[in-house]
Structure 1
Amino acid sequence: MADEVDYEALPSNAGLGVNMIAGAMAGVTEHAVMFPIDSIKTRMQVFATSPAAVYTGIGNAFTRISSTEGMRALWRGVSSVILGAGPAHAVHFGTYEFVKDFAGGRAGGNQPLTTAMAGAAATIASDALMNPFDVIKQRMQVHQSEFRSVFTAMRVVYRNEGLAAFYVSYPTTLMMSVPFTAVQFTVYEQVKRLLNPRGEYSPSSHVIAGALAGGVAAGVTTPLDVAKTLLQTRGTSQDSELRRVRGMWDAFRIIWTRDGVRGFFRGMSPRMLTHMPSNALCWLSYEFFKVAIRE
């Protein structure tokens, strides 16, 4: 129809602000909805010394945590995500759209290299902002966490371990997030283009493309996520070797020594289960808010 609006091709002078607001809303929605599964993933990845903190699967973890600690334990740390995810996702999507436009990603046709570059740049920027919040989130998620408040956790971690504790995992996070985001954005754009070649607002295509993109990216990067969790939760461990872990390669050594190849895929099922619907919801929210804000 002649009066139909191409929501992805509206004037660029409104684009960056719209994309950042849409990204912030999408990020908070995504993380909050799937947070209990993310909590289970964190607990499955931690090298626990207590049998009470060892879980054999998602169902086992959900049943034991909810029956012994209550359902609220599965939401512990969500406030840290909400505080960080909005600004981080605003930066993420704003950077993504800016770099894609700058590199000529709107010129038409498949441009996977441009899309991957934009996704990688977006991740470097957003992770710098989000990393401390993610550290606090995982400190609050672990079995028998001493923390119930984000600000208390920040204060105690800073006092006991210094500023470095909030960024010890940042290189590992980038090593994971850059390929994760590059794969995610590339798969998303390719599947979306296949399902929705006219580029119209199509919730079903955004959901399917987002879910597939999230699942593929999550599965590929699980080994790095296990290492990241080990680094971010080191201060909660009673194991002296785990408390002294200093970086990604040190974490890999410990994982290999203690659990072999299997150790690198701890928590892969809940990680994929988290990212598939959360990515679908994130992209659906993002595309929706792009339309809603511009109207």
Structure 2
Amino acid sequence: MEFWPEFLASSWGREFVAGGFGGIAGVVSGYPLDTLRIRQQQSNAGSAFGILRNVISTEGPAALYRGMCAPLASVTVQNAMVFQIYAVLSRAFDSSVSSKDPPSYKGVALGGFGTGALQSLLLTPVELVKIRLQLQNNSYAKLHEADSHKGPISVAKRIFKAEGLRGMYRGLTITVLRDAPSHCFYFWTYEYMREQLHPGCRKSGQESVKTMLVSGGLAGVASWVCCYPLDVIKTRLQAQSLSPLPKYTGIVDCFRKSVKEEGYRVLWRGLGTAVARAFVVNGAIFSAYEMALRCLFNNGSIQTETAI
């Protein structure tokens, strides 16, 4: 049964819906691991398992999902934008490829790079709010009740009131530096691995769910490994507030102080958690996205093939 791959999709509405399903699946499946990663990056609080036990025993399992509303609320627009821009740019950067064929690997890499840079404009405020909520624990809330955040809207209002629009976009530069190359590796790895696991599927779009999961998972791992030190710096920059005076004045200052105080290992702290999360989340994202497109373009019909 014929399936329309993403490069043949002709409706913004279908891309929007499919991207939304993929993003929602990714956020829900990987958010607890993301919370652990953020806490590992911000302070030397021990291993992921140690932090997990401490969070559950002192704050309850719900703390692992604190701040999820912000990325979940924006995830439909963000993922629709990412996949739509990628589909356009991957063609624009290599127009020599026929419209009946999938984009070249060159177009995929350059399209991913451009997509990562553009999507940072939406992602920066969302991640800023998310990080502030994830790092707030119950003990802090009790000691600083007036300053504690009740939810993402409360965080956004407080940041905007104290720091203005510029404060909402704290970390934009480092987010662009992280996301542009990571999306380049992200889409290239996905397209390359799916073709290796299921030859011909880039053109036919008939790969199995297992292929989607594995290819998406490996794409997520590759994108995180290539940019992880930048993500650590981004987390530390966005976690600090202006009151008291911020510890770091910029990207270079944050890098120097972090390495001086904690050594170069700090730049890779939490990598294991991030890699595990990346495999789960991105396998879910690409699978949900591809299956949503199959349903939308084939009136609900989905391939049942299970072999890679």
Return the TM-score normalized by structure 1.
Answer: 0.89
1:17 to 13, 31, 43: 13
CA contact (8 A) 1:168 1:246 kept: no
CA contact (8 A) 2:124 2:170 kept: no
1:28 to 20, 24, 27: 24
Aligned counterpart, 2:33: 37
Distance (whole Å) between structure 2 residues aligned to residue 55 and residue 77 of structure 1: 20
Aligned counterpart, 2:282: 279
Query: Does residue 58 of the first structure (1) align with residue 64 of the second (2)?
Result: no
Distance (whole Å) between structure 2 residues aligned to residue 180 and residue 237 of structure 1: 32
- The Cα shift of 1:25 comes to 1.7
Distance (whole Å) between structure 2 residues aligned to residue 293 and residue 110 of structure 1: 22
Distance (whole Å) between structure 2 residues aligned to residue 164 and residue 225 of structure 1: 20
Query: Does residue 217 of the first structure (1) align with residue 223 of the second (2)?
Result: yes
1:67-108 superposed Cα distances (whole Å, 9 cap, x missing partner) = 011111111100011112221111101101122233346564
- The Cα shift of 1:110 comes to 7.7
Aligned-partner residue type, residue 185 of structure 1: F
CA contact (8 A) 2:90 2:103 kept: no
Aligned counterpart, 1:247: 250
Distance (whole Å) between structure 2 residues aligned to residue 162 and residue 13 of structure 1: 39
Distance 1:180 1:9, change over 3 A: closer
After alignment, is 145-154 or 80-89 more displaced? Answer: 145-154
Aligned counterpart, 1:266: 269
1:7 to 4, 9, 29: 4
- The Cα shift of 1:223 comes to 0.2
Aligned counterpart, 2:143: none
CA RMSD of aligned residues (A): 2.0
Per the alignment, in what secondary structure is the counterpart of residue 241 of structure 2?
Answer: helix
1:178 to 180, 187, 203: 180
CA contact (8 A) 1:76 1:148 kept: no
CA contact (8 A) 1:184 1:217 kept: yes
Distance (whole Å) between structure 1 residues aligned to residue 136 and residue 84 of structure 2: 36
Per the alignment, in what secondary structure is the counterpart of residue 34 of structure 1?
Answer: helix
1:127-147 superposed Cα distances (whole Å, 9 cap, x missing partner) = 211210110000000042621
CA contact (8 A) 2:125 2:169 kept: yes
Aligned counterpart, 2:211: 205
- The Cα shift of 1:258 comes to 1.2
Distance 1:262 1:237, change over 3 A: farther
Aligned-partner residue type, residue 268 of structure 1: L
Distance (whole Å) between structure 2 residues aligned to residue 109 and residue 12 of structure 1: 12
- The Cα shift of 1:197 comes to 1.6
Distance 1:193 1:292, change over 3 A: same
1:212-269 superposed Cα distances (whole Å, 9 cap, x missing partner) = 111122122110000000111011886x5xx142322222112111112101111111
Aligned-partner residue type, residue 106 of structure 2: L
Distance 1:219 1:10, change over 3 A: closer
Distance 1:97 1:212, change over 3 A: same
1:137 to 130, 140, 145: 130
Aligned-partner residue type, residue 3 of structure 2: D
Return the TM-score normalized by structure 2.
Answer: 0.85
Per the alignment, in what secondary structure is the counterpart of residue 264 of structure 1?
Answer: helix
- The Cα shift of 1:35 comes to 0.6
Aligned counterpart, 2:110: 117
Per the alignment, in what secondary structure is the counterpart of residue 55 of structure 1?
Answer: coil
Distance (whole Å) between structure 2 residues aligned to residue 262 and residue 135 of structure 1: 24
Matched pairs, number: 282
- The Cα shift of 1:11 comes to 5.4
| Structure 1 unmatched ranges of 5 or more | 48-53
CA contact (8 A) 1:218 1:272 kept: yes
Distance (whole Å) between structure 2 residues aligned to residue 246 and residue 178 of structure 1: 23
CA contact (8 A) 1:32 1:81 kept: no
Distance (whole Å) between structure 2 residues aligned to residue 83 and residue 9 of structure 1: 24
